[in-house]
Structures are given as C-alpha cells and as structure tokens.
Amino acid sequence: MTEQSSKKSLLKGLQRLILGLVIVLATWWWLSSSAQEIFQEQQTKQQQAQQTATVDYQLPVVAYYKAKISNELSKNHEVTSLGTEMSKQNLEAVLLEGPEAGQTINLEVYLYKHMAPLTKGQTIVVRQISFPNNQKDTSYSFVDIYRLESAAYLVLIFIVLVIILAGFQGLTSFMGLSFSIIVLLWFFLPQIINGGNVYWLTGITSLVILLVSVYLAHGLNKKSVISTLSIILTISLAALFSVWAVALTKLSGFSTEEAVYLASSQWHQYLDLRGLLLAGIIIGTIGLLDDVAITQAATVEELHKANPQLTTKELFWRAMNVGKEHVVSMINTLALIYAGGALPLLILLATINTGSPLWVVLNHESVVEEVVRTVGGSLGLLLSIPITTLLAAKLIPKPFNFWLKPKLRPELANQAAQTQTAKTTYTSVLDKLQSPTNSNQKPMW
C-alpha cells in the first residue's frame, strides 16, 4: 500500500468517525429531549389521576440511592410458608448519595439459598420511602447489587479490543451500535408508551437503524448499498411472514411475565402486545441480516476482483456456494440463541409435574412464540442469501460512483485523456538498450 493510499484511507476513516460522532450526539440530544417531554407528560397525567383519587392521604415519595455495606450483624436461614429455604442477613450500610449521604442504615435482606451472600464493602442499591408531613418514618430496603460499574468495565474492554482489531472501522461500528441503542431508548420506546402505532414505528426505527449503522460500519460503497437494499427487501418479506405466522398461531403476546405485568399496568391502554412481539422479531432479525448481507456482497466483490471475466451467472453460483454454508450455521445459531434466552422456561416445562402430555406442553404459547421467532428469523436469513447474491452479481461488475463529477468542456476532456494516455505509455529498459534512439549509437551491452 502506497503512502498516498494510506493517507486516503486515513482521511476516509476520520471522515466516517467525525460524521458518526455528530450523528450519534445529535440524535441523542434531539431524541432525549423528545423522550423526556413524553415521559413528563405521562407522569403529569398519572399525578393528576392520583390527586383526584387521593384527597387527604398523600402518597409516599420513592427514591433510589447507592450504599456500601459496612458490617454484617447477623446471618441465619429461614423457611417460608411455601417451603422455600431463604438466607436472611441483617446488615449495616452507609448511604453514598442523597440528602442523607454518610448516614448508616440497617437493612434486612432475604436471599434465595443458591444466591451468594452480601459481603462487607459491597456496593448495593437501596430504596428510600419517605412520607410527606412525617406521616410515617422514612424506611430503607434492599433492591439489588450495584453492577453498572462492572458492566462499564466490560464495555470498555470490548471497545478497546474492537479498536485494536478493526481500527477506525471498529470504532465507527461501535458508534452505529450506540446510535441503535439511542434510537430504541429515546425514540421507539417513548413513542410506544405515548400510544404510537407499533407497526409504523417498527418500520421507521428499523430503517433508520439500518441505514446509519451499515454506513458507519462499512462506509458508503457498493457493498453497503447492495446490503441495505437486500436487507430492506428481505426484512419486508420476513415481516409479512411473521404477521401471517402470528395470526395463524393465534399468539396474543401474553406469554411472558413482563407482558402480563404490562397488561395490568397503567400503560395497558397504549400497548399492543402482539405488535410488540412482531417488533421484537423484526428488530432482532436485522442484526443477523446485516452480517449475512455484507458477507455475501463482499464475497461477490472478491470473486470479481480475482477474476473480472466471470459472468453474472458464474458470480452468483460461486457466491451461493459460500452462502449455503453460512446460512446453515446461522440457522443453528439463531435457534440456539432463542433456546438460550428461553432456557429457564424450557427447564420449567421439563420439570414441572402437571400431569399434562407432551403435546399439551409444546402447545403452550411461550413455546410456540419461540418457534415463530426462530422460523421468522431463519426465513429472513434464507431469503437474504439469494437476494443479496443476485444484486451483488448484477451491480458489482458495473462501474458507478456515489458522487456527482463535474462535466468537463470538450477541449479539457481531450487534454485529460491525452495526459492519461501519456502517463500510461512507457518503454521498457530492454527496448531502450536494444533499440537506441540514435541509430549511430551502439547498444550499451
């Protein structure tokens, strides 16, 4: 690689890095303000409803703070009325934040037998419940172990490894991931809570995530454009199939504990649980399609570079041989991903003694839901292979540029052509030695 091409690649990487940073920060700023307005509006409605329902009694104020365990007072085991053995710990902890930071509080913590006990010096999350007008004393309770700091270290290790192995491209790819998370948290979820149409929001969110993440990860080139077109076509077909499959299997979206909780919460009038099920299938499939589509487009491009004489048909079938191996392994991976996510449910269904036959257990909505997820995602993978390969085989051999070039006047165009011809015309050293320009001059050898 020459010095000029190295500088050109560095400039392209910096351009994508700066553009990606601007896109992520601008999206976060705009969507965070919009999401905050939506959440504040919903909280205002909730407070107004609570004020009309409670005239004399004022609801307690709940806040969450971090605390560090300073001492373990006692530890013993108790058995609940259901026969579950629990570990009970009486702890002292020091509040690390809040209006009472530095104060020592007493906590009574119950943990399942298989859970690791809390230790001195460990940071935890506590809930503070205070009552207006001192109706009752302020109380604290244990919520969970504080894990964000450890998770941040893991993310930092991941970012460093990505930068070491992939350089600028890995960093811009991580920016695409950050952009996807921002769009989901600050656009998709607030709009869903606000009563937006889940189907339109899923389509818009998927398209925005796809366009930005693919460009940031792979740049604006033939591969990214072909992959984007292929993913849009494939995800549209997979979405239609998923809608039909959900309607065919009569899924309601109430198969998980979270869905049941949402149905009984104050947000139930804004949520379409069946639509959320479809949204999860579609958004989850996009990441897999990105991998497959880019791989197939890159395969066709490398085949064309290795042998530019290959026809469209030959490019298609040679790349399909690679795609077949890829899609077989990806389908197995997809099934294992969904099975791993539903592992506690599978163990529960396998061990619970209900006296029901196997077909009744398999008929459970939670099991059929995982089947629909796996089949819908696998169908997208199957369709993306031939679609991407065909588009790549058709478009990659054809030269085209993404940027408009200014048209030159005829005399300038001729001059440029002559200059290019002069640059490419040369005489070998052997010709110069055998055929000197001066006929009287003898060859040097």
- Tally of CB atoms within 10 A around 112: 9
Residue 108 and residue 96: Cα distance in Å, rounded? Answer: 18
SS3 145: strand
Averaged pLDDT, 278-306? 86
SS3 362: helix
Selection from 237, 222, 208, 215 nearest residue 386 by Cα: 237
Distances from the Cα of 297 to the Cαs of 368, 386, 394, 423, in angstroms?
Answer: 34, 11, 11, 34
CATH number of 195-395: 1.20.1640
Name the phi and psi angles at 123, rounded to 5. Answer: -90, 130
Q: Where are the domains of the chain?
A: 62-129, 195-395
Residue 123 has pLDDT above 90, yes or no: yes
Where does the pLDDT of residue 269 fall: very low under 50, low under 70, confident under 90, or very high at 90 and above? low
With 0-12 CB in 10 A as exposed, 13-18 as middle and 19+ as buried, what is 403?
Answer: exposed
Q: Which residue has the tokens 């460009």?
A: 215
Where does the pLDDT of residue 208 fall: very low under 50, low under 70, confident under 90, or very high at 90 and above? confident
Residue 119's contacts (CB-CB under 8 Å, 6 or more residues apart) are 69, 72
- Tally of CB atoms within 10 A around 343: 10
Where does the pLDDT of residue 419 fall: very low under 50, low under 70, confident under 90, or very high at 90 and above? low
Calculate the CA 22 to chain-centre distance: 19
Averaged pLDDT, 384-405? 78
Where does the pLDDT of residue 423 fall: very low under 50, low under 70, confident under 90, or very high at 90 and above? very low
Q: Name the CA radius of gyration of the chain, rounded.
A: 31
Instruction: Decide which of 398 and 160 is more confident.
Output: 160
What sign does the dihedral 68-73-75-78 (CA atoms) show? negative
DSSP codes of every residue in 161-204? HHHHHHHHHHHHHHHHHHHHHHHIIIIIHHHHHTT--HHHHHHH
Residue 318's contacts (CB-CB under 8 Å, 6 or more residues apart) are 303, 310
Averaged pLDDT, 308-321? 90
pLDDT of 125 reads: 93
Residue 396 has pLDDT above 80, yes or no: yes
Instruction: Decide which of 421 and 210 is more confident.
Output: 210
pLDDT of 66 reads: 93
Where does the pLDDT of residue 435 fall: very low under 50, low under 70, confident under 90, or very high at 90 and above? very low
Contact (Cβ atoms closer than 8 angstroms) between residue 236 and residue 383:
no
Name the phi and psi angles at 86, rounded to 5. Answer: -120, 150
Fold for domain 62-129?
Answer: OB fold (Dihydrolipoamide Acetyltransferase, E2P) (2.40.50)
pLDDT of 426 reads: 41
Least confident segment among 80-84, 91-95, 326-330: 80-84
Calculate the CA 400 to chain-centre distance: 31
Name the phi and psi angles at 425, rounded to 5. Answer: -90, 125
pLDDT of 65 reads: 93
Residue 276 and residue 254: Cα distance in Å, rounded? Answer: 11
pLDDT of 145 reads: 92
pLDDT of 286 reads: 83
Averaged pLDDT, 381-387? 88
Q: What value does the mean pLDDT of the chain take?
A: 76
Distances from the Cα of 20 to the Cαs of 55, 182, 257, 376, in angstroms?
Answer: 52, 13, 38, 31
pLDDT above 70 coverage of the chain, percent: 70
Of 13-27, 150-164, 416-430, which has the strongest mean pLDDT?
Answer: 150-164
Decide: pTM greater than 0.75: no
Residue 216's contacts (CB-CB under 8 Å, 6 or more residues apart) are 16, 19, 20, 23, 172, 173, 175, 176, 179
Residue 438's contacts (CB-CB under 8 Å, 6 or more residues apart) are none
Of 255-259, 311-315, 421-425, which has the strongest mean pLDDT?
Answer: 311-315
pLDDT above 90 coverage of the chain, percent: 12
Return the structure tokens found at 307.
């042998």
Convert the pLDDT of each residue in 325-338 to its tens digit. 877 777 777 677 76
Q: Which residue has the tokens 């696998």?
A: 378
Instruction: Decide which of 167 and 301 is more confident.
Output: 301
For 53-78, give one letter per residue: b (16+ CB within 10 A) or e: eeeeeeeeeeeebbbebeeeeeeeee
